[in-house]
Homo-oligomer: A and B are copies of this chain.
Amino acid sequence: MAIEGRNETHSRRIRLGMVGGGNDAFIGGVHRIAARIDDKYELVAGALSSTPEKARASGEALGLPRIYEDFKEMAIREARRKDGIEAVSIVTPNHVHYAAAREFLKRGIHVICDKPLTSTLADAKKLVKAAEESDALFILTHNYTGYPMIRQARAMIANGEIGRIRVVQVEYPQDWLSEEQDFKQAEWRTDPSRSGAGGSTGDIGTHAFNLACFTTGLEVESLAADIQAFVPGRKVDDNAHVLLRFAGGARGMLWCSQVAPGNENSLRLRIYGEKGGLEWSQEDPNYLWYTPLGEPKRLITRNGAGAGDAAARMSRTPGGHPEGYLEGFANIYSEAAEAILAAREGRKPGKEVIYPTVQDGLAGVRFIDACVRSSARNAAWVKLD
């Protein structure tokens, strides 16, 4: 029941910078809490906005030691300092990810980047190249892969507990864009020049897609997508219905929506194999239903009876003491920290350390691209490439 050890055996904290995440951002604050929870990072520098005054004001509000008005300047100057940042969090709108990440990667600074990877497939491929050419690590915050019960599900599948997979049902409905919105979060997410060609497919569909692949260990070969923009005037999709074909024969459906009233953030994953099934819902993340064929359903709880090491590694508290979104996000940061600390010491991190990579990010952008291409061809099957 101890929560010590993994979280608090202190190496020197990792010096962290941040690009984006200024005053009125949502996800920047989430990244900062995630970085704090397990006490492995120290935020020491930031270029928190593309507007210089706002960058400065936001940095001062956070009490940042070093405030920059421009991410490139930050990359250059921090790289020169002895006590410069070792890693940077990139939490800007999507279209800035590539340009920002490149500057840090080429100076050997590890990058922790929000999803989707980029706003275009071309950028995504360039970013993969940039990451491959760099000694620095690239971590993509597909944060839902940090949930303990997702790790539990992944381990059970890898262990053959539900047998060969036949069917994957993944969905991610929300309702916050059911009507036209003009606040900042909605605005850039519905502007293709900043979010990319995908609306709901990019913002949340990529999470659903990533989670299905991460948990099952399967690759999607092709998809057929019927995407819609239900709200009049909207330039990107706000609902998408997608058929999936996985390598090896499994089939799936993916639904993402921002116009489904009553759904706040209802990412849900169901996987059925020859011998059993697994069901998980993000809004109740401490539970995993395991349904072995011909036996009663079992409700496995995070760090409770039936949960294994993969979930325990990602837990801070005993079962019954719910952990949530921020802890799941923190798990990605802590996995990244394991890898960064290993890199600092010139060693490999343990095999148990897992985080989404630039390749996962490329797969996500390919997913968006494929959805848009398929839908333009009346939901014809297209390959992901």
Interface residues, chain A, with chain B CB atoms under 8 Å away = 1-4, 7-10, 23-26, 28-30, 32-33, 36-39, 61-63, 162, 166-167, 169, 171, 173-176, 178-179, 183, 185, 224, 226, 228, 230, 239, 241, 243, 245, 251-253, 255, 257, 259-266, 270, 272-277, 279, 282-286, 289-301, 304-306, 316-327, 378-381
Contacts and interface: CB of A to CB of B under 8 A. Distances in A.
Given A239-B251, A253-B255, A272 B294 contact: no
B243 A185 contact: no
Number of copies of this kind of chain in the complex: 4
A29 B10 contact: no
Contacts of A243: 224, 226, 241, 243, 379
A29 to B, nearest CB: 4
A166 B325 contact: no
Nearest to A2: B24
A320 B174 contact: yes
Contact of A262 (B228, B277, B323): B277
Contact of A61 (B8, B63, B379): B8
A26 B39 contact: no
A39 B28 CA distance: 14
A4 B28 CA distance: 9
Interface SS of chain A: loop
Contacts of A283: 286, 320, 322
A326 B320 contact: no
A4 B29 CA distance: 6
Nearest to A28: B4
A278 B214 CA distance: 31
Contacts of A327: 324, 326
Nearest to A276: B261
A167 B29 contact: no
B295 A305 contact: yes
B37 A8 contact: no
A292 B29 contact: no
B298 A178 contact: no
